[in-house]
Structure 1
Amino acid sequence: MHRALRTYHVTQGAVHPGISPNCREHPHTPDDLHEKAWTLLLFRRSFFEIPMNFVDPKEYEILGLVRKNRYKTILPNPQTRVCLISPDQEDDPLSSYINANYIRGYDEEEKVYIATQGPTVNTVGDFWKMVWQERSPIIVMITNIEEVNEKCTEYWPEKQAIYEGIEVIVKDIIPEDDYVLRIMTLKSGEEERTLKHFWYTSWPDQKTPDQAPPLLKLVQDVEEARQKADYDVGPVIVHCSAGIGRTGCFIATTILCKQLKNEGTVDILRTTCQLRLDR
């Protein structure tokens, strides 16, 4: 793995990655952003200051792992990956594996999001186990099912289904202008929870959205839903196909909107470095 991006801090026996001085701060005011939008070269220079952070497949020596990754070259950073709790995990490490990472939010708040790949046929059960285990109140899906090739399997039922002992019931489907909101009920044992599934389809893979306002409305609506959720809920799950491009842009936009509101400036470079460390 490329380590140039990482510094490490030890806190109560745990190792946490920190942002390297390489990712020095570049705060921008709204006026700066409007001015520099016309000279994108300045943003490109900042982008190329960010070291790459790919995971070496040798870091994972788990038999059968290939079946659980949508793309063989895109693996979760080991330090921040989500581990599924499984009674078989000591004898079968594969049972605890999912291609997903915890992502810090604004002001480096821990585990605000989970970034993950679009579920495959082989990982639908794992995905719902993660949703339940992490007490996630919201899923944000930023991909079509197919974009030339399959980008994500349809992992939710039309009305009702059971995945790994978790009953998923679609209660309502609400079409908005630029996304579809599904209100779902999850049941396991005697416990029942509500889940909101936002499906945004107008963002083409490896491109930018045609317009910013629909994306910003999605960011706002998801954040409002998160604030209204119960106090003890877990991270918001965000995925596209690989769980790095559109997923990262959505999370970065959410973080930067909060920073702009609270501080009057945005630090795109530092935020992107933080995301690269986590995913």
Structure 2
Amino acid sequence: MLDKIMNDLMDLEAEPQTPVFDLSLDTRTEGDITTLSVTPVGLQERRGSNVSLTLDMCSPGCTEPYGYGAQLSPRDQTAKEYLREGTNTLTPSQLHTRAIDDQALQAEFYETPMNFVDPKEYNYPGLVRKNRYKTILPNAHSRVILRTADEDEFLSTYINANYLQGYGGEERAYIATQGPTVNTVGDFWRMVWQERCPIIVMITNLEEKNEKCAEYWPEDSVTHEGIEIKVVTVTQEDDYSLRVFTLKFGGEERSLRQYWYTSWPDQKTPDKAPPLLELVEEVEQARAEAPPTSGPVIVHCSAGIGRTGCFIATSILCKQLRSEGVVDILRTTCQLRLDRGGMIQTGEQYQFVHHVLSLYEKQLSHIVEE
């Protein structure tokens, strides 16, 4: 039974089965800032059956109405107000205390509306082939719209992806998207080129019991939608591989970096935070060195909400901690969910983000002391 629960916990399916585990830091010496472990120590809560959870994800109170001028139900309006106003600013000492307060974090996580889209709002023939999971859909106001000669043809403009704000309200700093399927690889590369994306962060294996993502890149070179994609270099680091591509289209040539993070284990959150923090720093540095005309950083896992949400939240919050000396993980989660429902998908992931930021603050303090 425990194996079944663990398999469900971090599988990041569209209909996630999310029992919540207590998590605790390993008992390490006060000065050990190199590792952080998250250990499941017992089932604390299960929010009803799988059926009730699936229904809750699609309930009217969790929808983003497609189109403009739609009336929000009172429940939906309340959820939107919470996401617009939710805040809990933490000082370093409060962050460290909060990171190990499992009950408070889980209560906060479950009080925060998911803001999932009602699948009925995307009732277009043939759209099912464009979505990896039927209940994970892009919120309408922030969805990426692919440019096409026939903009009245909805399917040709559609991709399951959303623009997300970055630190300080930076518009379209990130694009969160599902792992491409065999049917959407061409759309994915259209988006990469259209949005002038300099970096892709991939946080999933191609298969984890079932397919999580299509292998959308070539071994050497390939052409999708008229875009020539050529692999220039492949570098294998301890926790991720880096591919550098050259993209050519219409006489223009660009460079693209793909960071494929492979140290996020199947079925759970990572047991150590430093590899994730190192990747966040590496991506931030690469973004700073990209041409000034570059667009958003693309981040994807399988559904594009769980691990993707953790990575983007960590990136934003590390900047906030450096700039302001405080973090507001709740505010960041709310903003991400306004733009793409379900970001930071499970209670365990929410706790993990707190643990990562707690470790990062200790690293910063250690550097200052030196």
**TM-score, L = length of structure 1:** 0.92
2:168 aligned with 1:112: no
| Whole-Å separation in 1 of the counterparts to 2:214 and 2:104 | 38
Post-superposition shift, 1:19? 6.4
- Identity percentage over the alignment? 65
Aligned to 1:248: 309
Post-superposition shift, 1:21? 4.5
2:241 aligned with 1:180: yes
Aligned to 2:271: 210
CA contact (8 A) 2:88 2:330 kept: yes
Aligned to 2:164: 103
CA contact (8 A) 1:140 1:198 kept: yes
Aligned to 2:107: 45
Which consecutive unaligned segments of at least 5 residues does structure 1 have? Answer: 7-16
2:167 aligned with 1:72: no
Q: Which deviations, in whole Å up to 9, do the C-alpha atoms of 1:174-209 show, x marking residues without a partner?
A: 111110000100000210000000000111355211
| Whole-Å separation in 2 of the counterparts to 1:122 and 1:25 | 39
Post-superposition shift, 1:148? 0.4
Post-superposition shift, 1:54? 1.3
325, 332, 336: which one aligns with 1:275? 336
| Whole-Å separation in 1 of the counterparts to 2:62 and 2:225 | 40
Counterpart of 1:201, as a letter, is T
| Whole-Å separation in 2 of the counterparts to 1:19 and 1:131 | 30
Which consecutive unaligned segments of at least 5 residues does structure 2 have? Answer: 1-58, 65-76, 341-370
Aligned-pair Cα RMSD in Å: 2.0
Instruction: Specify whether residues 232 and 2 from structure 1 end up closer, same or farther in structure 2 by C-alpha distance, changes over 3 A only.
Output: farther
| Whole-Å separation in 1 of the counterparts to 2:140 and 2:316 | 23
Q: Higher helix share goes to which structure?
A: 2
| Whole-Å separation in 1 of the counterparts to 2:98 and 2:119 | 38
2:184 aligned with 1:131: no
2:271 alignment partner, SS class: coil
Instruction: Specify whether residues 224 and 27 from structure 1 end up closer, same or farther in structure 2 by C-alpha distance, changes over 3 A only.
Output: same
Greater C-alpha Rg: 2
Aligned to 1:13: none
| Whole-Å separation in 2 of the counterparts to 1:24 and 1:128 | 35
CA contact (8 A) 1:140 1:238 kept: yes
Aligned to 2:11: none
**TM-score, L = length of structure 2:** 0.70
2:155 aligned with 1:94: yes
**Residues paired across the two proteins, number:** 269
Aligned to 2:226: 165
Q: Higher strand share goes to which structure?
A: 1
CA contact (8 A) 2:82 2:112 kept: no
2:79 aligned with 1:54: no
Instruction: Specify whether residues 19 and 60 from structure 1 end up closer, same or farther in structure 2 by C-alpha distance, changes over 3 A only.
Output: closer
1:125 alignment partner, SS class: helix
